[in-house]
Amino acid sequence: MLDFRGMLRFGGLFIPSARESIEMFYPFEKDFAVSSRKFSDRFGLRATPLEDALAATVGWYRTRETSSPG
């Protein structure tokens, strides 16, 4: 089985964007965690729960949909 990273290295000889994409492999090679703890501690802000953000976005979209001309 061919190594995808190796294929990109070979393709990078001819296609610059293939060569540049190799550095973006880290999310697919191992798990990583993202934490907003330092930001939250420093600025006292908390992330909006997904359900609240989704409801607000859908509500905003619906108001634009009904008020758009045409």
CA-to-CA distance for 4 and 49, rounded, in angstroms? 37
User: What percent of the chain is modeled with pLDDT above 70?
Assistant: 90
Strand, coil or helix: 44: coil
CA-to-CA distance for 45 and 36, rounded, in angstroms? 10
pTM of the model: 0.41
The answer to whether residue 58 scores a pLDDT higher than 80 is yes
Please tell me what DSSP assigns to residue 13: T
Question: What's the Cα-to-Cα distance from 16 to each of 8, 29, 52, 61, 64, rounded to whole Å?
Answer: 10, 22, 42, 39, 41
Tokens 């061919």 appear where? 2
The answer to whether residue 2 scores a pLDDT higher than 80 is no
